[in-house]
Amino acid sequence: MPRRRSGLGARPGKLGDVDERAKPPLIISACLLGVACNHEGRGSPRAVVEELAERYRLIPVCPEVLGGLPTPRAAAELRGGDGADVLAAGGARVVNVDGEDVTAAYRRGAEAAVAVARAVGAKRAVLKAQSPSCGSSAVYDGTFSRRLVPGRGVTAAALAAAGLEVGSEEDAAGAAPPAGEAGRR
């Protein structure tokens, strides 16, 4: 791979012999990298991140933090529908375990994640499974009884609506890049 240098001779973005800037961008839930941003104030590090980092330039986002929520924070679940229903303003809400409606913060976080994805030209996102923001195929049912139902979290739904391929850390290993993703930025 040809080496690129700035005018000062430095190579920002270089990691070993790999030019990080040449990899396609990947939106990823920040907690999967170990960032202590989940509702309990902890991270959710996963080994698959290392494999993804070999193929992608990782762009970490935590929608709930970007939406203005504190860390730690009360656990929240979707009620009346999934993330797509929340975005459609059809009556679905995000409510925390204290009974507080936090829908607006979840929508803000989703908008911020979409803005980041557009800014970097990401075509794919790997998001933490089962989160009311990041869940990509199942979310808790709103009863705080650990029951999962099919559906996406609010940010996962927003990124999918923006055209990204959205999956979770559970199905990320070895997944082929989306068509057209090989284009370099």
Residue numbers of the site for ligand SF4 (CB under 6 A)?
A: 29-31, 37-38, 62-64, 128, 131, 133-134
DSSP output for 93-142? EEEETTS-B-HHHHHHHHHHHHHHHHHHT--EEEE-TB-TTT-SSEEE-S
The least CB distance from residue 89 to ligand SF4, in Å, is 21
Q: Rounded to whole angstroms, how far apart are CA atoms 97 and 85? A: 20
| 14/71 with CB nearer ligand SF4 | 71
| 123/131 with CB nearer ligand SF4 | 131
The least CB distance from residue 133 to ligand SF4, in Å, is 4
The least CB distance from residue 87 to ligand SF4, in Å, is 15
| 19/141 with CB nearer ligand SF4 | 141
The least CB distance from residue 127 to ligand SF4, in Å, is 6
The least CB distance from residue 4 to ligand SF4, in Å, is 31
The least CB distance from residue 8 to ligand SF4, in Å, is 35
> What Cα–Cα distance (Å) separates residue 59 from each residue in 23, 29, 91, 102, 104?
11, 8, 32, 25, 24
| 75/175 with CB nearer ligand SF4 | 75
| 31/49 with CB nearer ligand SF4 | 31
At 20, list the tokens: 């990080």
| 62/122 with CB nearer ligand SF4 | 62
Q: Residue 151 — left, alpha, or beta (φ > 0 → left; ψ -120 to 50 → alpha)?
A: left
- Asked, as a colleague might, if the bond just before 72 is cis with ω within 30 of 0, I would say yes
Q: Rounded to whole angstroms, how far apart are CA atoms 33 and 127? A: 11
